[in-house]
Structure 1
Amino acid sequence: MKGSSNEFFKTQVLGHPAGLFVLFFTEMWERFSFYGMRALLVLFLVSSFGIGGWDWPRENALALYGTYLALLYLTPIIGGTLADKYLGNRKAIIIGALIMTFGHASMAIENIPFFLYLGLFLLVVGTGFFKPNMSSFISILYEEFPEKKDGAYTIFYMGVNAGAFLGIMLCGYLGEILGWSWGFGLAGIFMLLGLLQFTLAQGIFGDKGNKPNKEDKTIETDDHTKIEDKLNPFTQVDKILIFFVAVSGLIWIINDPLSKIINYNVLKFGDTDYSGHSILITLILFVYLLGSRIVRYSKITRDKMFAVVVFAFFIIFFWASFEQAGGSMSIFAKDYTNRILSGDSALIFNIVDVVITVVPIAIITWVLFLFFKQTFKKYLVSNMILGISFVLIWAIVIWKINNNFNTYSYEINYPVYQLSEEEGAKKIALIANVELPQGAVLGTNTTVIRSSTDFVANDKISIIDIDKKGVNYKYLTDEQSKSVTNKINATIVQKKDNEIQIPATWFLILNSLFIIAFAPLFSKWWESKYNPKPAHKYAIGLFFLGIGFAFLAFGSAGIPQGAKTASISMVWLIFAYLFHTLGELCVSPVGLSYVSKLVPPRMIAFMFGVWYLALAIGNKTSGKMGAMIDDITAKYDISTFFLIFTFVPIIIGIIALLLNPVLKKLMHGVR
């Protein structure tokens, strides 16, 4: 084994084996696909039929979004177990990537509901195989060089954030500008390219990551010495409880969107909905199962595991708020944020957008060049596929930049009518080929559309009311116009000064940008003498999260009760993403680290399962809470909606601070 490890470490790129960068690029393309699709999902579901969306109520879209995210954190428990016992990391990664490729391909057929649901299902299953095995594979590759492991994970997570950044930016842009299937399809293309480059280059790993050795049955005690007998095995009652809790929880998670989307509630009997009773009983049984297993261990082990449970409790509240990014915050960016810039502001934004687009890709391309120097001849086909991937990325980026600088704003007139001549009576856009109602008074309205087509005054065009709210209108090409029934005939008045509309998905890239910018500073903070205690890190992260939502609550304070649209400054959304990212840097990297430090190996799989279950609950809760946006906006206002996400994390953060002495005692010196 030592020989194979030394072979793996022979080729060096940035001080690490070239093989690490096979994983780097594979993870980058997978995250590209995941975050690219995630950026589009809710926006696609709530957008109108006229621009290819499904015109769903926000509540339904966010229920499906929350269920999808929850399931993503449950299947890795199964995929990791299968890899550990039967498949090995490499085969599990390939299986997962292949299934996810089919999932993204299915989602590209977005006009047929079956294929979107099938795509989401395949992504959930594929992630179960892929996600846990990429991270653990690095640990296996570096098992004989633990001093290099921190650096390896740092480089690996650069790939994670690079993929997230590129996926959100490019899939989001294509989805909003060209059509949803372009965005979903692009995610699938890069998932396929990542699968191919990994499969064709896996010889670089030697014999690492193959099928596990079933002969190694030893486990460790509290002081990490090996023993031969099994301690604290799962009893028959434990296994029955695990099965019941898993099935019951899964039914509840899936039933939420099912009951909203197709109005079929499997937990409703007669006139009574037992959804609340079901999840309450499930949680009580799970807490009993968890507690009954933990108390069977020795005091030190028991205390450490209780500390993990407390951290998992904190993480539920963090992710329930943080994952509003792809849900209610995306809706806020789309419907409530002024995304239109003109004149110098538009020019400055285009220049900044070019810089933040080109510089990260240039850096990653340089890493690719260093990787090619070490491996190009030996893994020619894999590297050619990787090279094609980057050529495609650069081509899309160049097209995006050119399109941004050559998209024009036009003032247009379109016909409207009102059913009364009274001043202030509601004016309704006149749909082409629809007769005026009796007694209607015809008039015209003026609005602005953006297009890369060069029009002149008096040109006749077709437009569509994107949200059916009389606020946002979009130009329809001749091809689109043929298939749209609710189009509006309009006339070009004049070309306006440089004016752009920022895509709603653009704001999601801020998280990745801020992580890249601030992660080195936080890393130095954790290594300094001012490194906070674990409970303090969680508290700081929760406080940052609450502050981010406070900006949104303050910025939206002037939006009236029940308003479905508004036009507040994008500054508030940018500040929200900044502070949410600072919170993530305090919470996310330290969680799994504490699980691995505090839990003995014989219990690690079960406790990782508990941790991922906490993440699943947090993500599902994010969808449930996000779905309340319309109800709360109607009864109060949208500022109140964001105030909830301000106060809840801050309150939980205060609880974390108060529990610090208890947690310090439970952790028995582990930092």
Structure 2
Amino acid sequence: MSDYNKLKIVESVPQKGFFGHPKGLFTLFFTEFWERFSYYGMRAILVFYMYYEVSKGGLGIDETTALAIMSIYGSLVYMSGIIGGWLADRIFGMSRAIFYGGILIMLGHIVLAIPGSISMFFLSMVLIVLGTGLLKPNVSSVVGEIYSEEDHRRDSGFSIFYMGINLGGFLAPLIVGEVGMKHDFHLGFGIAAVGMFFGLLLFVLTKKKNLGLAGTIVPNPLSPTEKKKVYSYIGLGAVLLAIILVITIQMGLLTINAFINIVGILGILIPTFYFIVMYKSEKTTAVERSRIIAYIPLFIASVMFWAIQEQGSTILASYADKRTQLEFAGLSISPAWFQSLNPLFIIILAPVFAWLWMKLGNRQPSIPKKFSLALLFAGLSFLVILLPAYFGGTDSLVSPVWLVLSYFIVVIGELCLSPVGLSATTKLAPAAFSAQTMSLWFLSSAAAQAINAQIVRFYTPETEMVYFGVIGCVAILLSIVLFALSPKIQGFMKGVR
């Protein structure tokens, strides 16, 4: 997108009206709030729905397989962001991508809300994966569009936006988790569908007034001839994929384990391919190529961080269900409620971090150093959760305080990485790949969860200490390496801080 269009977009957005930030931040804040409410509400009960027995309202899937499916599902959700980013950059813009994505997500949750078979379950997953791929990267990219590149409010704005994400993530497990775990899983999924409907309604009603031109300009549009070719390729590809799926499933070649392995490979190959394409593109300038080089170690650090953080909905969810004392201080705790801890701590701490970065100004740590701190805290969060087994063995139930402490520590790291990473991505992105680079940022989570799908099978009560200890120590070691390389990485950023 040209500098002229960027300026034109910023001028079209009311620059005051939401806590000293552009008015459009209100629309994006609450759209993402409701989308995250629906997603995290569904996710809080999904793994339990998969491995609980049919007599308890679940699907009766083997627990290890259910944990792997959960990781693969999370990987595909973020992997599909590449498709959403490309469609926004080349065909219909970010605003329409957000709208179409919200509709698909809502339909996916409606399918989950209807009692059915495993086939219905996988259909809902396809809808939610595609919908989130359209909505998630593009709503974050539009946040970047409503600020000028020199606007000092930018990092603070992303922190506020991130708080909105987590406000939805905090409320959803409490509400959906309570209904889904204690009453009916399908009713819980229905509440998630209603949440997405509210998000769509708010976006449609307020976008014109608050967002101006943000999200409406296609940065790198296809020509009419190119569009015809693309539509033909998409149609042909869909038909071929359907044929391949039918044949391989009938022949017994495409099993759940085989699919998990395929996604694991794609989780590494796709971001690698994207880095190469952006770096070699004729539309990428010399300065932008240098910034892409700087982005690579940040991406690797992000993969390591999310590999730990995302296990909050898999390994730690199982830990809450099987290893934690759920009768505590006179309360009966639902295992789904622990999913609210991460967003709760972010809601509390996000304003503190937003204020801290604003207060420090040019004295704040560089982006690479913030990422190294994130890895340090992620590693420590896993070292903390191995302590109960060290002191009391793996046979007895442990106090929920250990889980609370682990979630708290990883959140400190998350606030050093996630909102900072969103902001850094909008700054380091090549102009011709703006939405797609945001999709690439989310691919770090896709890669992390694709890796998780492979390693969760090594977790058992007997291997608990080794599992948490090895992963935690690797994260801390990578943190030290990244901190040492920070000045060199900063140099490749060409003025971006």
Of Structure 1 and Structure 2, the greater strand share is in 1
1:79 paired with 2:84, answer: yes
Distance 1:74 1:152 in 2: 25
Distance 1:85 1:644 in 2: 43
Please list every run of 5 or more consecutive structure 2 residues that lacks an aligned counterpart in the other structure: 223-229
1:549 paired with 2:375, answer: no
Per the alignment, residue 189 of structure 1 pairs with 194
Per the alignment, residue 485 of structure 2 pairs with 659
8 Å Cα contact 2:306-2:444 kept in structure 1: no
Per the alignment, residue 613 of structure 1 pairs with 443
Q: CA 1:96 to 1:6, structure 2 compared with 1: closer, same or farther past 3 Å? A: same
Amino acid in structure 2 at the alignment position of 1:523: A
Q: CA deviation at 1:652?
A: 1.4
Pairing of 1:386-405 with structure 2 (within 5 A):
none
Per the alignment, residue 389 of structure 1 pairs with none
Distance 2:291 2:52 in 1: 48
Amino acid in structure 2 at the alignment position of 1:48: E
8 Å Cα contact 1:102-1:122 kept in structure 2: yes
Distance 2:207 2:290 in 1: 41
Query: Which of 164, 173, 189 is the matching residue for 1:159?
Result: 164
Amino acid in structure 1 at the alignment position of 2:367: P
Q: CA deviation at 1:322?
A: 1.0
Distance 2:344 2:260 in 1: 40
Q: CA deviation at 1:184?
A: 1.1
Per the alignment, residue 318 of structure 2 pairs with 331
Amino acid in structure 2 at the alignment position of 1:170: I
Fraction of identical pairs, as percent: 30
1:173 paired with 2:178, answer: yes
Q: CA 1:622 to 1:530, structure 2 compared with 1: closer, same or farther past 3 Å? A: farther
Q: CA 1:151 to 1:657, structure 2 compared with 1: closer, same or farther past 3 Å? A: closer
Comparing both chains, which one has the higher relative contact order based on Cα–Cα distances under 8 Å and sequence gaps of 6 or more? 2
Q: CA deviation at 1:202?
A: 3.9
Per the alignment, residue 121 of structure 2 pairs with 116
1:578 paired with 2:408, answer: yes
8 Å Cα contact 1:319-1:619 kept in structure 2: yes
Per the alignment, residue 39 of structure 2 pairs with 34
Please list every run of 5 or more consecutive structure 1 residues that lacks an aligned counterpart in the other structure: 218-238, 347-499
Q: CA deviation at 1:644?
A: 2.4
Q: CA 1:170 to 1:637, structure 2 compared with 1: closer, same or farther past 3 Å? A: same
8 Å Cα contact 2:94-2:138 kept in structure 1: yes
8 Å Cα contact 1:5-1:144 kept in structure 2: no
1:642 paired with 2:468, answer: yes
Distance 1:274 1:114 in 2: 15
Pairing of 1:523-534 with structure 2 (within 5 A):
523-527=354-358, 528=360, 531-534=364-367
Q: CA deviation at 1:159?
A: 2.0
User: Which stretch shows the higher mean deviation, 651-660 or 508-517?
Assistant: 651-660
Q: For each residue in 1:479-528, what CA deviation from the matched residue of structure 2 results, as whole angstroms up to 9, or x when unmatched?
A: xxxxxxxxxxxxxxxxxxxxx32011111211111112222332344341
Q: Secondary structure at the match of 2:406?
A: helix
Q: CA deviation at 1:18?
A: 5.5
8 Å Cα contact 2:145-2:215 kept in structure 1: no
Q: CA 1:33 to 1:661, structure 2 compared with 1: closer, same or farther past 3 Å? A: same
Q: CA deviation at 1:661?
A: 3.8
Q: Secondary structure at the match of 2:398?
A: coil
Query: Which of 419, 422, 428 is the matching residue for 1:592?
Result: 422
Per the alignment, residue 62 of structure 1 pairs with 67
8 Å Cα contact 2:105-2:196 kept in structure 1: yes
Per the alignment, residue 382 of structure 1 pairs with none
Q: For each residue in 1:600-632, what CA deviation from the matched residue of structure 2 results, as whole angstroms up to 9, or x when unmatched?
A: 3135455445433332111222232223223xx
Pairing of 1:234-383 with structure 2 (within 5 A):
264-266=252-254, 287=272, 290-291=275-276, 294=279, 300-341=287-328, 345-346=329-330
Distance 1:141 1:535 in 2: 25
The structure whose Rg is larger is 1
Amino acid in structure 2 at the alignment position of 1:501: S
What is the aligned-residue RMSD (CA, Å)? 3.9
1:627 paired with 2:486, answer: no
Q: CA 1:215 to 1:587, structure 2 compared with 1: closer, same or farther past 3 Å? A: closer
Q: CA 1:316 to 1:49, structure 2 compared with 1: closer, same or farther past 3 Å? A: same
Distance 1:336 1:40 in 2: 17
Q: How many residues align?
A: 470
Q: CA deviation at 1:57?
A: 1.9
Q: Secondary structure at the match of 1:156?
A: helix
User: Which stretch shows the higher mean deviation, 300-309 or 537-546?
Assistant: 300-309
Q: Secondary structure at the match of 2:386?
A: helix
Q: CA deviation at 1:134?
A: 1.7
User: Which stretch shows the higher mean deviation, 651-660 or 575-584?
Assistant: 651-660
Of Structure 1 and Structure 2, the greater helix share is in 2
8 Å Cα contact 2:91-2:221 kept in structure 1: no
Amino acid in structure 2 at the alignment position of 1:318: F
Per the alignment, residue 442 of structure 1 pairs with none
1:513 paired with 2:339, answer: no
Q: CA 1:152 to 1:295, structure 2 compared with 1: closer, same or farther past 3 Å? A: closer
8 Å Cα contact 1:88-1:211 kept in structure 2: yes
8 Å Cα contact 1:58-1:627 kept in structure 2: no
